[in-house]
Amino acid sequence: MKQFLSLNLLLFSFACSAQKTDTNLQKGNSEFESQKFNDAEANYRITHSRESKNAIASYNLGNAIYKQKQASEAKFSYLKAIENTKDRAQKATAFHNLGNVFMHEKDYSKAVEAFKSALRNNPSDEETRYNFALAKKMLKDNPPKDDKKDKKKDKKDDKKDKDKDKKDDKKDKKDDKKEGDKDNKDDKEKPNTPPQPKPGGISKERLQNLLDAVNNEEKKIQDKINAKKVKGKPVQTEKDW
């Protein structure tokens, strides 16, 4: 299948009507012809920063960005150009290139509308007419998803999940009540016996006994050490002259 037409032939008809006194716009057009798209973008941006409502600067900026394979970014400049021009020929070329952007994004429904708007402003443009026919075919072959059906399905699924959660909550509450009743019943049936120590646990009394035993052993060891010190001490005697 023949690919949709590019915007190559649609730049200069728009650029020729630029004010000749704007040197940055002129430089940008010259750089664009030399395929220095990055430099062209810079000069178009300078003009655009000074004259934000300059439709030609916006349009040519979009073309420079588009040529750098940033089609999705270029559409904002085309939309700005469409907003700021009353010239039907300029609107037609801007809508044409905007349609190309949507084709790149595979948003065929928007591409159809853009090419349709371009034809309204310039019905004799055969390139736009071809792109319009191709966009309609692509839209037919790739219909968009039915958002309404998807939303209905999501709502239905959400309702099912909520109903399931409610049922689970009721079941959990019912089970908790049964467990509580069972525990109360067991407590009533148990005889009044003193609490038993847990397996592996140490009672307070036993713990105190262990501490006392440790202290006693330390005392015994200290006593032995002291006794050895006393025993080993030399006894002074009077010298026999």
pLDDT(124) > 80: yes
Q: What is the pLDDT of residue 99?
A: 93
Q: Which two tokens stand for residue 3?
A: 């690919």
Mean pLDDT of 177-198: 54
Mean pLDDT of 169-180: 64
Question: What domains are there in the chain, each with its CATH number?
Answer: 11-85 (1.25.40.10), 86-143 (1.25.40.10)
Q: Which amino acid is at 236?
A: Q
Residue 178 Cα distances to 40, 173, 185, angstroms: 79, 9, 11
Q: Which amino acid is at 190?
A: K
Give me the numbers of helices (H) and strands (E) for the chain, helices first please. 10, 0
DSSP string covering 1-53: -PPPP-SGGGSHHHHTTS-TT-HHHHHHHHHHHTT-HHHHHHHHHHHHHH-TT
Q: What is the pLDDT of residue 136?
A: 94
pLDDT bracket for residue 77 (50, 70, 90): very high
Residue 228 Cα distances to 26, 129, 186, 210, angstroms: 110, 117, 64, 28
Residue-wise pLDDT tens digits, 139-156: 999 988 765 555 566 666
Q: What is the pLDDT of residue 128?
A: 92
